[in-house]
């Protein structure tokens, strides 16, 4: 197996499925089943999930709310999604631990790096909630930071498109997909993969990112079995 320990980054928006808001149970159960499939391969799995299906700090700022206040509300939204995913995984027989960057001892462990690594070694899926615990940092940044802290081999960024394209494939029919692209090329071409803080963290720590379509069941398993799914970003 090419990757022994992965960090899976899921967007909050993708949890909406066919809905306009909130969590689609079909979608979250599909994700849980896919994660269970790769767990059976013996891969150690950590997960970071966004909160955009419930609340986004940036949108709050646009409405006149203090950005710091809005970002903390966004962190709480990620905890709701993390708990929903934890419940879906456990109902599919997958042992999980939820760690939060903000103390919420009734519902989650505090984030402790050594403890997280120990859980992974024991075969538990670890979900990291509440972002980095700091305003002005996205969940992409949280995913990059946690992946580096736990020595993950790769970040798998699950999206609704099947990789990185020369232009937005939903707007430009002539856009072509990259199978592999370097961090420097992403910078120079101005492609949108992650926010720059997250992206720079990965580049500086030589942590590859694979962008793929998580909404197609089976893609995650194929990717980890070595099939060419999505776009690999590396140095």
Residue 170 is predicted with a pLDDT of 79
Q: For 82-116, b where at least 16 C-beta lie within 10 A, e where not — what string?
A: bbbbbebbeebebebbbbbbbebeeebbebeeeeb
State the CATH number of the domain containing residue 141. Answer: 3.40.1160.10
pLDDT score, position 72: 95
C-alpha 47/C-alpha 43 separation (Å) is 13
H or E element in which residue 180 lies: strand 180-182
The alpha carbon of 86 is separated from its chain's Cα centroid by a whole number of angstroms, namely: 14
Q: Could you give the CA distance from residue 61 to residue 120 in angstroms, rounded to a whole number?
A: 37
Tokens 């599919």 belong to which residue?
Answer: 92
Give the integer Cα–Cα distance in Å for 134 and 149: 16
Question: Average pLDDT for residues 200-226, to the nearest whole number?
Answer: 95
Which of 29-43, 53-67, 215-229 is least confident?
53-67
Order across the sheet with 44-49: list the strands. 109-110, 96-100, 125-129, 44-49, 5-10, 154-159, 209-213, 231-234, 180-182
Q: What percent of the chain has pLDDT over 90?
A: 85
* Residue-level pLDDT at 57: 72
Instruction: Look up tokens 């992965």; give the residue.
Output: 6
Chain-centroid distance of CA 32 in Å reads 14
- With 0-12 CB in 10 A as exposed, 13-18 as middle and 19+ as buried, what is 79? buried
Q: At residue 79, does pLDDT exceed 90? A: yes
pLDDT at 60 over 90: no
Summarised one tens digit per residue, pLDDT across range 103-148 is: 999 999 999 999 999 999 999 999 999 999 999 999 999 999 999 9
pLDDT at 76 over 90: yes
Task: Kindly report the pTM of this predicted structure.
Answer: 0.95
Provide φ and ψ at 100, rounded to 5°.
Answer: -115, 140
Based on the structure, what is the number of domains in the chain? 1
- 144-190, pLDDT tens digit by residue? 999 999 999 999 999 988 999 998 887 888 999 999 999 999 999 99
Q: Which domain holds residue 161?
A: 5-234
């Amino acid at each position: 197996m090419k990757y022994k320990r992965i960090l899976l980054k899921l967007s909050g928006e993708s949890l909406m499925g066919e809905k306009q808001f909130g969590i689609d149970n079909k979608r979250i159960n599909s994700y849980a089943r896919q994660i269970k499939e790769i767990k059976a391969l013996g891969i150690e799995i950590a997960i970071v999930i966004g909160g955009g299906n419930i609340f986004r700090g940036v949108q709050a700022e646009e409405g006149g709310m203090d950005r710091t206040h809005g970002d903390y509300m966004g962190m709480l939204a990620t905890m709701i999604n993390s708990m929903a995913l934890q419940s879906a995984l456990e109902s599919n027989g997958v042992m999980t631990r939820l760690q939060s960057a903000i103390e919420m001892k009734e519902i989650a462990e505090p984030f402790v790096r050594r403890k997280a690594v120990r859980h992974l070694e024991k075969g538990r899926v670890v979900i990291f909630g509440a972002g980095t615990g700091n305003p002005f940092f996205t969940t992409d940044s949280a995913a990059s930071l946690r992946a580096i802290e736990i020595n993950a081999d790769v970040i798998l960024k699950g999206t609704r498109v099947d990789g990185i394209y020369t232009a937005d494939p939903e707007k430009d029919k002539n856009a072509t997909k990259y199978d592999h692209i370097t961090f420097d090329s992403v910078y120079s071409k101005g492609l949108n993969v992650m926010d720059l803080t997250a992206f720079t963290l990965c580049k500086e720590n030589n942590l590859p990112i694979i962008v793929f379509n998580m909404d197609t069941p089976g893609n995650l398993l194929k990717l980890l079995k070595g099939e060419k799914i999505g776009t690999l970003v590396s140095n």
